[in-house]
Amino acid sequence: MQSLIKGQKVQLSQLALTDEFVIVIETNIHKNIKIEINCFGVNAENKLFAQEYFISDNQLSSPCKSLENINNNIKGNRTFKINLSTLPPSITKLVFSLTIEQHISISELENNSFKIINNQGKTVAEYNFWGKDFQEEKALIIAEIYLKQVWRLGIISQGFKNGLSSLLEQYGTKLEDIIIIKSEPKISLEKRLEKKAPQLINLVKKVDIQLKKSNLNNTMARVAFVLDASGSMSFQYSSGNVQAVLERIMALAIRFDDNEELESWAYADKYRQLDNINIDNITGYINSLTKPKGGFWSTLFSGIIQDLGIANNEPPVMEDVVNYYKNTDIPAFIIFISDGGICREKEIAKILIDASKYPIFWQFVGLGGSNYGVLERLDSLKGRTIDNANFFAIDDFKKVTDEELYKRLLKEFPKWLKHFPTPKS
């Protein structure tokens, strides 16, 4: 096996490779860090050949099957099956890239590897790279396989501070040209739901109908859930309304989100980012948050969710959400649940104005409350780069049909999506 170094170039024939081989990219990843590993085809003008040749977890194969993501179920590791002989003649380069979620950098990774495996299953070459060799970079071109008289391999190892958007610019492509690529839903989804969360099956079907009506059925976005845990929300928790809202939003995330998960926050006086929500933990999720940890009286005096308090303080959690998503490479759709009692109007307005330059859309939902303040005046909020927020209130959640809820949730997001801000290089 040949060990490769940054900047090295080698003919594939020198590695005794045929036109068919496998690329394995492995990362040493912390539990909650999300990594995208892609392979995409580039033409002689050094531009992305076509959207369908940007291979990711959502586009598992090129139309000609020359590029296939054959192992996307292990976190942080990807395996690409390559067949150079059946590639469209216009493709003269294959690029292998890595993007890390935007609130951290590639320096957080430890030891990582790029391996080339021949059609007998033997590793013929390997490039090892370490997070300590990088600083603030969010995306990385690991290597290129390119045609120059013959097919060659080049180890690039070039990082980009502004993530996938700036990486793609190296290949004449804008991020918005590829973010809507999304493969058909996994065939096994219904079976997974039957086993883990059967209550979501019909909800997902209703989501599909509304996404199609809103021309969003091929859209991909990060979905987040921000939850009011102030004292006045007690009835909404105890009645099951909060869990019911969460399940309806989870059904949306399954079809809409980039990884079938919801990032989530809860707030009162203080705030906390919670565990990501997925089909494995959605059932009983709210009960797990509100179960007393120090006895009834401890929970009573520390809030619905222990240690968060009982009053409303929206600005800190909103700022944390902005910092988390402000450099995201795909749109972030934030569903913010509150029962009102809004008093920090100027601070909230300033955050929304400042956040309008980022790829973040806020959908505020009032749940059985009053005094929503600035949220009820979002349409007249001036100073924003783009209208980045919407609000509606539900007096009695149980009287609102699923179809109506999804219609309201998705009312203004499509308009924003057409002009959403992308990270600047």
Q: What is the pLDDT of residues 396-414, one digit of tens each?
A: 887 899 999 999 999 999 9
Tell me how far apart the alpha carbons of residues 394 and 399 are, in angstroms, rounded to a whole number.
9
Percent of the chain with pLDDT over 70: 90
- Taken in order 10, 16, 21, 22, the sign of the CA dihedral is negative
Characterize the bridge pairing of strands 263-267 and 139-148.
unpaired
Phi, psi at 317, each rounded to 5°: -70, -35
pLDDT mean over 338-364: 95
pLDDT mean over 209-218: 84
Q: What is the pLDDT of residue 177?
A: 67
Phi, psi at 203, each rounded to 5°: -65, -40
Domain boundaries, the chain: 2-177, 189-417
Question: pTM of this prediction?
Answer: 0.62
Question: 2-177 maps to which CATH number?
Answer: 2.60.60.30
> Who wins on pLDDT, 292 or 143?
143
pLDDT mean over 174-197: 68
pLDDT mean over 99-113: 83
Least confident of 17-21, 190-194, 359-363: 190-194
pLDDT mean over 48-62: 87
Of the candidates 391, 347, 349, 389, the residue with the CA atom closest to the CA atom of residue 372: 391
Average pLDDT, the chain: 87
Question: 189-417 maps to which CATH number?
Answer: 3.40.50.410
Q: What is the pLDDT of residue 75?
A: 65
Map tokens 């749940």 to a residue.
367
Tell me how far apart the alpha carbons of residues 32 and 6 are, in angstroms, rounded to a whole number.
28
Instruction: Give yes or no for residue 293 having a pLDDT over 60.
Output: no
Least confident of 113-117, 196-200, 393-397: 393-397
Q: What is the pLDDT of residue 225?
A: 95
Highest-scoring range by mean pLDDT, 184-188, 246-250, 304-308: 246-250
Instruction: Give yes or no for residue 64 having a pLDDT over 90.
Output: no
Tell me how far apart the alpha carbons of residues 210 and 220 are, in angstroms, rounded to a whole number.
15
Least confident of 37-51, 116-130, 210-224: 210-224
Q: What is the pLDDT of residue 422?
A: 60
Phi, psi at 298, each rounded to 5°: -60, -45
The pLDDT-based confidence of 123 (bands split at 50, 70, 90) is very high
Give alpha helix (H) positions in 227-365.
234-238, 241-256, 285-290, 296-302, 314-325, 345-355
